Amino acid sequence: GDSVTQMEGPVTLSEEAFLTINCTYTATGYPSLFWYVQYPGEGLQLLLKATKADDKGSNKGFEATYRKETTSFHLEKGSVQVSDSAVYFCARLHTGGGNKLTFGTGTQLKVEL
């Protein structure tokens, strides 16, 4: 079935460090892929998305490229800030239509001064 696997956290970085959070998905069809972010005390917010192979989603300095050959959608940011501290969720659209999302377990990011 559909699944998403992302690296476990917490990930702790110093401000201005480079961030990578790995995400892979099961290769059933060519699903749309998403990164959601959850800041403390808030709901899930869509960070970026990609709908087909080789698409690059980007927002707020974050990027992720849809890699069909490696079934991956790794999240990257060149220089993180303390305000980026949050939980990041990778998700894929369920095969078969509709708008059902399958989420990864989430990766907590802590950015320190």
Residues that bind other proteins (CB under 8 A): 32, 34, 36, 41-46, 49, 89, 91, 94, 97-106
Least Å distance, CB 58 to other proteins, is 15
Least Å distance, CB 48 to other proteins, is 10
Residue 19 burial (CB count, 10 A): 18
> Given the complex with other proteins, which of 17 and 63 has the nearer CB atom?
63
DSSP E strands in 40-106: the ranges are 44-50, 56-59, 62-65, 75-77, 86-93, 101-103
Least Å distance, CB 60 to other proteins, is 15
- Name the nearest CA neighbour of 63 among 75, 72, 55: 75
